């Protein structure tokens, strides 16, 4: 095991797959010489050279157009969209072309490509550079959607995404880049579509994603230590495919579900999970399903306002206590 930061785990996952498969290439703005705007691709140019690690013009449409063409002709590109907000600039290519090509060609053309992007708030970048857009992506048939919380999952899920035959949107939470965790040495792959149960309790199930996972874990510790409430925490990890089996099993055990979502409340991923749980486990529930989300407003740049919008440990503790007490 090695202790890596979240950003170092990104580079480790890419390097693992580039060493394994010469068809894997990396393209994006400043990913080569500068090592990425978030320093998540440092060292890759030195190891793999300019033929496989390429800087691009400042054009999201050009980046994804090139990645799509490369995937159609046998390469396995990893393309970076610097901020996930910028998917709005190239959404036609993502939603109407990349997502639908395999279906519309009856499987004759596959697009084994990964689109990485810095996602979410907490870094004071303001409303146009802080959005959590995973709910945009999961609404489009044909895309797989992944959002890791810990460095080990960054490396493992990124490897699985590169090996997948379908396009995968890989969301890296920007506020987590400096966090550290143990990452397995050697080849490490975490299957897509498998949630991770981080702790188990009998009173409530908390489902969380990306930045909200460590906050949910902190909240669970406080709830047990100070209030005697024992919470199960499920790291959803993959939205498409979604591990409904694990989520339903854990909710059936506790009888209560709380989702913790960074995305705006309207049409967030937690609404889909709540719908599935309500349909499948209605008679097993001991209380209403609770969703803790960012309000349906643009994120502020001011520290105190952004902190007030994004779900905090204190908010999670308070809402869970209201549900269970």
Q: Checking phi first, is residue 260 left (phi over 0); if not, alpha (psi -120 to 50) or beta?
A: beta
**Among 129, 227, 253, 296, the one annotated catalytic:** 129
3-state secondary structure the chain: CEEEEHHHHHHHHHHHHHHHCCCEEEEECCCCCCCCCCCCCCCHHHHHCCCCEEECCCCHHHHHHHHHHHHHCCCEEEEEEEEHHHHHHCHHHHHHHHCCHHHHCCCCCCCCCEEEEEECCCCCCCCCCCCCCHHHHHCCCCCEEECCCCHHHHHHHHHHHHHCCCCEEEEEEHHHCCCEEEECCCCCCCCCCCCEEEECCCCEEEEECCCHHHHHHHHHHHHHHHHCCCEEEEECCEEECCCHHHHHHHHHHHCCEEEEEEEECCCCHHHHHHHHHHHHHHHHCCCCCEEEEECCCCCCCCHHHHHHHCCCHHHHHHHHHHHHC
Please give the C-alpha separations between residue 181 and each of 53, 258, 278, 307, in angstroms, as whole numbers. Answer: 26, 26, 35, 24
Quick: pLDDT tens for 193-244: 999 999 999 999 999 999 999 999 999 999 999 999 999 999 999 999 999 9
Average pLDDT score over residue span 80-94: 97
Average pLDDT score over residue span 296-322: 96
pLDDT at 325: 87
- Give the pLDDT band (50/70/90) at residue 51: very high
Is 253 an active-site residue? no
**Best CATH choice for the domain 196-324 from the list 3.40.50.920, 2.40.50.140, 3.40.50.300, 3.40.50.1700:** 3.40.50.920
Q: What is the mean pLDDT of the chain?
A: 97
pLDDT at 58: 96
Average pLDDT score over residue span 67-82: 97
pLDDT at 1: 87
- Give the pLDDT band (50/70/90) at residue 248: very high
pLDDT at 312: 98
pLDDT at 304 over 90: yes
One fold for both 2-183 and 196-324?
yes
Where in the chain are the domains? 2-183, 196-324
Quick: pLDDT tens for 96-151: 999 999 999 999 999 999 999 999 999 999 999 999 999 999 999 999 999 999 99
pLDDT at 267 over 90: yes
Quick: pLDDT tens for 142-193: 999 999 999 999 999 999 999 999 999 999 999 999 999 999 999 999 999 9
pLDDT at 59 over 90: yes
| Percentage of the chain lying above the pLDDT 90 cut | 99
Query: In the CATH hierarchy, which fold is given to the domain comprising 2-183?
Result: Rossmann fold (3.40.50)
């Amino acid at each position: 095991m090695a202790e890596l930061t979240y950003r170092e785990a990104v580079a480790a996952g890419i390097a693992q797959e580039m060493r394994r498969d010469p068809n894997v290439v990396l393209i994006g703005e400043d990913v080569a010489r500068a090592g990425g705007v978030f320093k998540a691709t440092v060292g890759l140019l030195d190891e793999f050279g300019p033929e496989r690690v390429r800087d691009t013009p400042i054009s999201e449409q050009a980046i994804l157009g090139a990645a799509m063409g490369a995937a159609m002709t046998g390469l396995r590109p990893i393309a970076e969209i610097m901020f996930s907000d910028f998917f709005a600039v190239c959404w036609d290519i993502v939603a109407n072309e990349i997502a639908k090509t395999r279906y519309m060609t009856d499987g004759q053309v596959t697009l084994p490509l990964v689109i990485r992007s810095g996602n979410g708030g907490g870094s004071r970048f303001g409303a146009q550079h802080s959005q959590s857009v995973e709910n945009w992506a999961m609404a489009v048939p044909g895309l797989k959607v992944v959002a890791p919380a810990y460095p080990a999952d960054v490396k493992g899920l990124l490897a699985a995404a590169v090996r997948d035959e379908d396009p995968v949107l890989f969301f890296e939470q920007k506020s987590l880049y400096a966090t550290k965790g143990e990452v397995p040495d050697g080849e490490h792959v975490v299957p897509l579509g498998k949630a991770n149960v981080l702790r188990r309790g009998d009173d409530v199930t908390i489902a969380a994603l990306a930045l909200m996972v460590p906050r949910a874990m902190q909240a669970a510790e406080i709830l047990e230590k100070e209030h005697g409430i024992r919470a199960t925490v499920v790291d959803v990890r993959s939205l498409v495919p979604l591990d409904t089996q694990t989520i339903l099993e854990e909710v059936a055990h506790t009888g209560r579900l709380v989702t913790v979502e960074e995305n705006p409340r309207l049409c967030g991923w937690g609404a889909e999970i709540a719908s599935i749980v309500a349909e499948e486990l209605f008679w097993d529930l001991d209380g209403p399903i609770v969703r803790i989300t960012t309000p349906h407003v643009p994120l502020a740049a001011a520290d105190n306002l952004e902190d007030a919008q994004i779900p905090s440990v204190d908010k999670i503790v308070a809402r869970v206590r209201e549900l269970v007490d």
